[in-house]
Amino acid sequence: MSEMKLAFVSAPGEDACEARKALIERYGQAPANEAEVIVALGGDGHMLETLRAAIGSGRPIYGMNRGTVGFLMNDYQPDDLPARIRRAQPVTLYPLRMRAVGRDGTVTEGLAINEVSLFRASAQAAKISIKVDGVMRLEELVCDGVLVATPAGSTAYNLSAHGPIIPLGADILALTPISAFRPRRWRGALLPRSARIEFATIRPEKRPVNAVADVMEVRDVVAVEVWEDRQVSLTALYDPEHNLEERVLKEQFAP
């Protein structure tokens, strides 16, 4: 058994479950509340789920790819795992906090490590106004949706929506439209991490909108406020030769 107390968690896929079983046999399994490090086995979705589950615990997460994309994961190598973890470089992540108000007046809060997104929920395009720090910046965005992404999440859905890739050390957030129709040439904005973004839906009874914080969805919203919550921090561990900051940089030169 390893001298380092490790807790292994896996996605439900066969590869991830088999890896968890083999690693537990090799290194042992500590209770999650006693582990020094949580080792997540799966893909990016499982890594995000594990990070969310670790909020408030102070325990770092070391992910190994047993999923599909694995952008947020280290390579899967079962040998010398405690030594790899000791050499790993920590990355501190600050999530976005979403406060969504439904048409029925219900207020729902959630945290997002990657992005907070608003999506049209009918055949009608969404109409959304945008304030930044209390100042109206866009009175009417006609679109399929709009999102706010963290630097860590800038290479995820934000990139697919043609948003900018943000280096981890940059103190900015990406505000990115999804299939904007009007203003046709608006491509979004880069905002300071201190910004508070307020979205309000226009004619929500005719043009319903849903809000999503990573995977938590709130249906039929009329207002959504988003800001980076510096009171909450998460730690992910990465191999020095394949760290997350280098991956984000490489994505900016990908063919």
- Tell me the domain boundaries of the chain: 6-93+233-251, 96-228
74 secondary structure, DSSP code: B
Q: How far apart are CA 204 and CA 118, in angstroms?
A: 13
Catalytic residue among 44, 75, 80, 144: 44
Residue 1 has pLDDT above 50, yes or no: no
- Three-state DSSP at 251 gives helix
Q: Could you say which architecture CATH assigns to the domain 96-228?
A: Sandwich (2.60)
Residue 175 has pLDDT above 70, yes or no: yes
The per-residue pLDDT for 69 is: 78
Q: How far apart are CA 219 and CA 91, in angstroms?
A: 33
Q: How far apart are CA 239 and CA 73, in angstroms?
A: 10
Active site includes 44? yes
The per-residue pLDDT for 74 is: 94
The per-residue pLDDT for 209 is: 98
The mean of the pLDDT values for the chain is: 93
Question: pLDDT, tens digit, for every residue of 43-78?
Answer: 988 999 999 999 889 999 999 999 887 888 999 999
- In a 13 Å sphere around the CA of 243, the CA atoms on its Cβ side amount to 15
Residue 18 has pLDDT above 70, yes or no: yes
Q: Residue for token digits 């030769």?
A: 241
Domains 6-93+233-251 and 96-228 are alike in CATH topology: no
Q: How far apart are CA 126 and CA 180, in angstroms?
A: 10
Residue 167 has pLDDT above 90, yes or no: no
Helical (H) or strand (E) element with 21: helix 14-27
Q: How far apart are CA 238 and CA 225, in angstroms?
A: 32
72 secondary structure, DSSP code: T
Asked if residue 60 lies in contact with residue 235, where contact means CB atoms within 8 angstroms, the answer is yes
Cα angle at 56 between 54 and 60, to 5 degrees?
45
The per-residue pLDDT for 255 is: 73
How far lies 187's CA from each of 158, 182, 227, in Å?
Answer: 12, 11, 20
123 secondary structure, DSSP code: S
pLDDT over 70 percentage in the chain: 99
CATH number for the domain running over 6-93+233-251:
3.40.50.10330
What is the rounded average pLDDT of the residues 151-167? 91
Confidence band (pLDDT; 50, 70, 90) for 2?
A: low
How far lies 251's CA from each of 5, 142, 175, in Å?
Answer: 34, 29, 19
The per-residue pLDDT for 124 is: 95
The per-residue pLDDT for 242 is: 76
- Check residues 249 and 98 and name the one with the higher pLDDT: 98
The per-residue pLDDT for 199 is: 98
Give the phi and the psi of residue 93 in degrees, each rounded to 5.
Answer: -115, 135
Q: How far apart are CA 141 and CA 185, in angstroms?
A: 11
Residue 153 has pLDDT above 70, yes or no: yes
* Residue 59: closest CA among 25, 81, 85, 87: 85
Asked if residue 107 lies in contact with residue 138, where contact means CB atoms within 8 angstroms, the answer is no
Q: What is the rounded end-to-end Cα distance, in angstroms, of the chain?
A: 44
